[in-house]
Structure 1
């Protein structure tokens, strides 16, 4: 039997879209802009790091990072992110969303700057080790932003457009990826303003000018700017009413905060808050049988789908430069200087982000509350599977001259359907389907599973894509990339299968979805393929 909703929560559920919604989207979204910029800008400069620190005098080809070093540089931030998601997700439920929100941002600002200032007395190993150290802690701060931003936005939003608001926060990740490419283009252009690709076959020290060392540092440090700009506004946001009322049990503060935000008079229902928070449906813990009965399959669904999605998504993003080089879209390193290579890589990744990544995110924003989370996620995984196999099976066809554009178009479509699909919905759903006192924790666990997938992608794809045989005279791509694409296709198919464990949450209040308003039935367990749409009567309190 459903219990009566608190007036302050009902006011949030039925509120019309107002200015504070857009303010919250921008404040939380700028964190995700920074997250994406910091996580993906490293892929723009990894080849540059190899040319600066691993070029050997007298060798014919420019230096490259050894596979183990490249894997560490690309993957260490994900290790930090995974840890941060678990820690800050748990802390957000213990101390409150707002109190922890500022800590993550400070950590991101400090470590972005420190990454660019990596030192080591001209010892490549020391510089790379220092870079990896600071990027781990940068990832730790980024990890906290995932559960906190998602939870704050879900608890601020109304039930009619909640999915769009949470997805809009996450969509800023697309602009962060795009921003990283644009910054890299501008910085590389500023240091190599001739825009020429001189051929240095023997004298590789000249092909890597001294200014190259400034390029990667500036690109990494720029990530501190958007995070620093939003710190003040994050600290001005009040704590969410759902945390204040249902977890902190402070009905008066929740009513006061939301009266100011919504600009309406809301009554403080102290007796009702006390009664609600003592109900059995609001007292079981994460490791209890009751949680396993109500939400165990849900947590399995959110963790597995996010894990599988991130294997594919981060493999594609971090190593698209290697794939484009393999098919010949980006020229060989020995045909251009180091700074110009950064420009070429950044231009390719910016084009992909502009044409497919960013539009995919905003398609989700526009359609998620119309066709539902389940449908978008299933559709996204399906098309990612189709396009991966379409790239992998006839892979050598795409490497022929004249077929590169077709490959890039197909590859772009995998990004589009990742973002108009599971990359967005795996972020949205965990912020909606779990109880308020466990919401941030469960989102952190789900997100951490995703980052475990990203680590598998960052380390696994690097080794899977290695050519097992030396190419013949002239350029002839090996079998490594083809095999890696086939594996990613299988991973996407498995993601489609596990999507059936995830409930549809469209159009319902957070308390109805999580069961905080219902003691007698198993919530959210109806067949998801029916995409059940339920609403509760709108109460005036």
Structure 2
């Protein structure tokens, strides 16, 4: 039976790009700017925290955090993110996208400030407090994933929907860049204020009391963009797709979208009631019908996101360790604590400018022309190529060609973001029914964060040299950076293979992709989709 599309949803699918589209991108995108700043700024300050609280005289890595502490500080926010993606993804389908959208921002603002104010009479107390607040920070960040993606997909027209969703996610690149810039400015400011103490090369000079302010300020700055976005999130109307297809309020959907599109809208309550009676409009997540129609799709979006996040977070959170290993960054023994923070931030900023940000915006530019499927396959394949180029001649890179390594590394980030890191965010927001869209996106994203947790905890241990003896800091034996890079090549290959389970959504309406409606004869939908 052919199920007709509601006029209000047809109007959204065919709407020309308008000011409200860009407004929605900025509002949702600022959340992702904050998300990435909060998640990745920790990689800039872990070594500084180690210098302040865990300095061991005579160690070849002064101030290195014990592996369990490093893993906890780096990975606890990812655990919170996983939980937040599942919870807010589910609640976004039950209560509405807008209703809980502001809650995620409040969590991020409060937790970012609290992370910087981490207190305790002992070192363990400070670390425990920091981990506690970063878990809840991650919980709020996790909620932003399914809600932002779903809201943007349901606001967008079908011709440029992929670009709009990808543009929201692309703000993650600017958040990573902002983290590096803030760390550079803050560390340089304290360098200027305390030149005699902060830059002595002795243990006392590298752990001056003022250095304790640096990591706290960097973490707390993440509250600012989230706070600035709160008012505008509250002003956004609920999406018409949720209001009409899930809440069954045709009149309110027409009123909201008439205001957004500046056109008259017909409410069509009778058609909404007829759609509600369709069996395809009532099956649940754990039903046989969902398994038949979307089971493989959900498995595909979840597994590909899982594999890409293992690689992405391994690279992003521990790039400072890789750069030190290939000697692009100087040895910690030659720098004070603030110098080291400055150098790590500068390296992250260069990679973000040269590889990360361009990759995101190439996806925005091409995702609606060459499609999600092709970009994702290409991205996984090119990541494998460049990762092999990094890992096979790894000893050559270490000994003589630091610049060549950095260029290859930046290209890996480029194809990660002009590839699966962006498309795995886009596709789950397009292919599932409206009543399950946020939940399924949350499940897919949570599987990604499970991969990120493996990347954060596993890479830290795996990258340790197998010849390294356990020392007073407690480092275990690992497989070495080179072999750890080989493991990431394998994850890229698996991501490439599982991409074949993911459908192409280019040019189709959300209801066509979910199976809620089929194109009407003579409607021109097929012709429009082909354009």
Do both share a fold (TM > 0.5)?
yes
In structure 2, the partner of 1:80 is 80
TM-superposed CA distance for 1:468, in Å, is: 1.8
CA RMSD of aligned residues (A): 1.9
1:410-455 CA-to-partner distances (Å, cap 9, x unmatched) read: 0111100000000000000000000000000000000000000000
Q: Match of 1:5? A: 5
Deviations, residues 192-222 of structure 1 (Å, cap 9, x unaligned): 128899563xx41222221110000000000
Number of equivalences: 517
Q: 2:430 aligns with which of 424, 432, 445?
A: 432
Contact 2:462 2:479 in 1 (8 A): no
What are the superposed Cα offsets for residues 7-64 of structure 1, whole Å, 9 maximum, x if unpaired?
1000000000000000000000000000000000000000001000001357675221
Q: 2:109 matched to which residue of 1?
A: 109
- SS of the residue corresponding to residue 287 of structure 1 reads coil
1:465-523 superposed Cα distances (whole Å, 9 cap, x missing partner): 0112149xxxxxx960001100001100110000000000000000001000049xxxx
In 2: Cα distance, 1:198 partner to 1:229 partner = 36
Q: Determine if the alignment matches structure 1 residue 340 to structure 2 residue 339.
A: yes
Relative distance call for 1:513 and 1:119 in structure 2 (3 A) is same
Q: Which residue of 1 aligns with 2:508?
A: 508
Residue 332 (structure 1) shift = 0.8
Give the direction of change, closer, same or farther, for the CA distance of 1:404–1:199 in structure 2 (3 Å limit): farther
Q: 1:400 to 1:195 in 2, by over 3 A?
A: farther
* Alignment check: 8 A CA contact 1:195 1:340 kept: no
| Cα contact 1:174–1:353 (8 A) shared by 2 | yes
1:242 paired residue number: 241
Contact 1:84 1:141 in 2 (8 A): yes
| Residue 460 of structure 2 corresponds to residue 462 of structure 1 | yes
Larger helix proportion, structure 1 or 2? 2
8 A contact 1:85–1:444 mirrored in 2: yes
Quote the Cα distance in structure 2 between the aligned partners of 1:195 and 1:421: 44
Aligned counterpart, 1:302: 301
Give the alignment of 1:361-380 within 5 angstroms. 361-380=360-379
Q: Which runs of 4+ in 1 moved over 6 A?
A: 194-197
Conserved? CA contact 2:244–2:253, under 8 Å: yes
Contact 2:356/2:413 (8 A) holds in 1: yes
Matched ranges for 1:173-192 at <5 A: 173-192=172-191
Q: Secondary structure at the match of 1:112?
A: helix
Match of 2:419 among 418, 421, 443: 421
1:531 is aligned to none
Map 1:141-540; keep pairs closer than 5 Å: 141-193=140-192, 200=201, 203-401=202-400, 403-470=401-468, 480-518=480-518, 535-536=525-526
Rounded Cα–Cα distance in structure 2 between residues aligned with 1:26 and 1:348: 27
Q: Deviations over 1:222-248 (max 9, x none)?
A: 000000000000000000000000000
Equivalent pair of 1:298/1:503 in contact (CA under 8 Å) = yes
The answer for unaligned runs of 5 or more in structure 2 is 470-477
Can you list the C-alpha shifts for 1:358-409, whole angstroms capped at 9, x where unaligned?
00000000000000000000000000011111111111010013x0000000
1:334 CA drift (Å)? 1.2
Q: Which residue of 2 aligns with 1:475?
A: none
CA distance in 1, matches of 2:155, 2:115: 34
Q: Distance in 2 between matches of 1:377 and 1:7?
A: 33
- TM-score, normalising length from structure 1? 0.93
Residue 74 of structure 2 corresponds to residue 69 of structure 1: no
Residue equivalent to 1:40: 40
Shift of 1:259: 0.2
Instruction: State the alpha-carbon separation in 2 of the partners of residues 206 and 417 from structure 1.
Output: 41
Matched residue SS, 2:157:
coil
| Structure 1 unmatched ranges of 5 or more | 472-477, 520-533
Q: Is contact 2:199-2:205 (8 Å) kept?
A: no
Q: Give me the whole-angstrom Cα distance separating, in 1, the residues matched to 2:392 and 2:58.
A: 40
Does the aligned pair in 1 maintain the 2:4–2:518 contact within 8 Å? no
- Local SS of the residue matching 1:252: helix
- For 1:326-354, what per-residue CA distance to the aligned partner results, in whole angstroms no more than 9, with x for missing partners? 00011111111101110000000000000
